[in-house]
């Protein structure tokens, strides 16, 4: 089916019609990935190391490797080729393990997957902007809302 330019433009406008809250709206930060409870740690690391094949991970970008090498003085790179080879292997291994862990952490966000895979993550509280509660916060928000409603600046 051919979509006209006019309907495509309307679809784009409709997709971009997002109602953003004002900048004064408090944000709520998500917690970091949870580490599984103690009895599930062996299963968790087994899934990372054996359960997810390495070919599920995109190869390490050579641009990233070159960028890492720009931080190492040239005389060290040329005088220690064995160490550079070991560094390459360590970067590749760390990259693969980190991505496999990120994939598994994403899968484990679903409680059904936690049950299926036998890995239980503890519940985590979401903290406002990553900080603890401040007793004066509500009065500041109230004052800000009052000022936004009642304070007018001439243009």
Q: Is 132 exposed, middle or buried (0-12, 13-18, 19+ CB in 10 A)?
A: exposed
The reported pLDDT for the residue numbered 31 is 56
Give the residue-averaged pLDDT of 80-92: 94
Give the residue-averaged pLDDT of 58-75: 91
Residue 59 CB partners (closer than 8 Å, separation 6+): none
pLDDT of residue 111 exceeding 60, the answer is yes
Q: How distant is the alpha carbon of residue 43 from its chain centre?
A: 23
The reported pLDDT for the residue numbered 64 is 92
pLDDT of residue 40 exceeding 70, the answer is yes
Where is pLDDT greater, at 133 or 51? 51
Q: Is 44 exposed, middle or buried (0-12, 13-18, 19+ CB in 10 A)?
A: buried
The reported pLDDT for the residue numbered 126 is 60
pLDDT of residue 79 exceeding 90, the answer is yes
């Amino acid at each position: 089916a051919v979509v006209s330019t006019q309907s495509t433009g309307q679809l784009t406008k409709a997709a971009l019609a997002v109602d953003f809250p004002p900048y004064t709206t408090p944000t709520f930060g998500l917690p970091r990935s949870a580490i599984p409870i103690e009895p599930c740690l062996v299963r968790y690391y087994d899934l990372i190391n054996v359960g997810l094949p390495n070919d599920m991970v995109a190869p390490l970008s050579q641009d990233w490797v070159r960028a890492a090498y720009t931080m190492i003085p040239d005389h060290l790179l040329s005088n220690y080729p064995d160490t550079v080879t070991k560094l390459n292997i360590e970067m590749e291994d760390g990259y693969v393990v980190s991505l496999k862990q990120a994939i598994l952490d994403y899968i484990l966000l679903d409680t059904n997957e936690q049950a299926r895979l036998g890995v239980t993550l503890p519940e985590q509280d979401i903290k406002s902007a990553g900080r603890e509660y401040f007793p004066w916060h509500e009065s500041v928000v109230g004052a800000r809302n009052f000022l936004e409603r009642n304070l007018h600046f001439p243009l």
